[in-house]
Amino acid sequence: MVIVIKFLGLILLTTVKFVAVALILLVDKSITPTELFSVLLIGGTLGVLVFYFLGALVNTLLDKLFLIWKKEAEPKKQFTKKNRWIITLKTKYGLIGIAALSPIFFSIPLGCFLASRFYREDKRTLFIMLFGVLCWSIVFTVVKIILL
What does the alpha-carbon distance between residue 56 and residue 49 come to, in Å, rounded to a whole number? 11
Q: In this structure, which amino acid lies at residue 2? A: V
Other CB atoms closer than 10 Å to residue 67's CB: what's the count? 9
What does the alpha-carbon distance between residue 143 and residue 17 come to, in Å, rounded to a whole number? 18
What is the rounded (10 degree) CA torsion for 95, 96, 101, 103? 90
Q: 83-138 pLDDT, tens per residue?
A: 787 788 788 888 999 899 888 988 899 899 888 888 988 899 999 999 999 999 99
Q: In this structure, which amino acid lies at residue 78? A: Q
What does the alpha-carbon distance between residue 30 and residue 123 come to, in Å, rounded to a whole number? 40
Helix (H) or strand (E) holding 134: helix 125-147
Q: In this structure, which amino acid lies at residue 38? A: S
The confidence score (pLDDT) of residue 73 equals 56
The confidence score (pLDDT) of residue 132 equals 95
